[in-house]
Chains A and B, each alone.
Chain A
Amino acid sequence: AQTVTQSQPEMSVQEAETVTLSCTYDTSENNYYLFWYKQPPSRQMILVIRQEAYKQQNATENRFSVNFQKAAKSFSLKISDSQLGDTAMYFCAFTKWGNKLVFGAGTILRVKS
Chain B
Amino acid sequence: DAGVIQSPRHEVTEMGQEVTLRCKPISGHNSLFWYRQTMMRGLELLIYFNNNVPIDDSGMPEDRFSAKMPNASFSTLKIQPSEPRDSAVYFCASRTLAGPYYNEQFFGPGTRLTVL
- The listed residue with most A CB atoms (<10 A of its CB), out of B45, B106, B107, B109, is B107
Question: Which residues of A59-113 are within 8 A (CB) of B?
Answer: 91, 95, 97-98, 100-101, 103, 105-106
Contact present for A100 and B42 (CB under 8 Å): no
Q: Which of B16-24, B60-68, B72-80, B97-105 contacts A (4 or more CB under 8 A)?
A: B97-105
Contact present for B104 and A47 (CB under 8 Å): yes
B32 to chain A, nearest CB (A): 11
Query: Which residues from chain A contact B56 at a C-beta distance below 8 Å?
Result: 100
Partner of A98, one of B33, B50, B91, B110: B50
Provide the main secondary structure of the chain B interface: strand
Q: Provide 13 A-B residue pairs closer than 8 Å at the C-beta atoms, listed in order of the A residue.
A: A42-B109, A43-B110, A44-B109, A47-B104, A47-B105, A47-B106, A97-B103, A98-B50, A98-B97, A100-B48, A101-B33, A103-B42, A106-B43
Residues of A within 8 A of B (CB): 33, 35, 37, 42-47, 50, 91, 95, 97-98, 100-101, 103, 105-106
